[in-house]
Amino acid sequence: MPQPLDPAAVRETEEKLGVAFPGGFVARMTLSNGGDLVIEGEEWSLHPFLDTSEASQLERTGYDIVQGTVDAREWKVFPPGGVAIASNGMGDELVFLPDPQRAGQLRPNVFMWSHETGEVDEVATDFGELK
């Protein structure tokens, strides 16, 4: 079950990946680190931020945004600089992409990436639109 998150865990993840997450995403994840989304009838499991505050949280958040991104970047068709934030369990990911105007900043738009085709389709202009 997703739990609240110390914002320090977000900063640690940002440092590891060399990015800054959009504010709406950070706000949602600090209230409930992880969980599920349904987009166009398809269920997506959010990758949590790694939470080392206690053993039970560490176990629950062990497969985190960093590991999800590392795994996704092994695919040749993964978008350069993309950060994986959720999986549908079938290889596809929801991703944030780099903001071309601001180095190190991720765009607030959420994209669905297909591991089969490499196509990236926008599903929301801001994470806050997703329920």
State the CATH architecture for 7-129.
3-Layer(aba) Sandwich (3.40)
In this prediction, residue 131 carries a pLDDT of: 75
Provide the mean pLDDT of the chain: 91
Q: What is the pLDDT of residue 60?
A: 55
Q: How confident is the model at residue 11 (pLDDT cuts 50, 70, 90)?
A: very high
| In the predicted structure, residue 53 carries a pLDDT above the cut 80 | no
DSSP-assigned letter for residue 2: -
pLDDT at 8 over 60: yes
> What pLDDT sits at residue 59?
57
Output 53 or 115, whichever has higher pLDDT: 115
**Prediction pTM value:** 0.92
Between the CA of residue 87 and those of 84, 100, 122, 126, what are the distances in Å? 8, 24, 15, 18
pLDDT tens digits, 73-116:
999 999 999 999 999 999 999 999 999 999 999 999 999 999 99
> How far is Cα 114 from Cα 20, in angstroms, rounded to an integer?
24
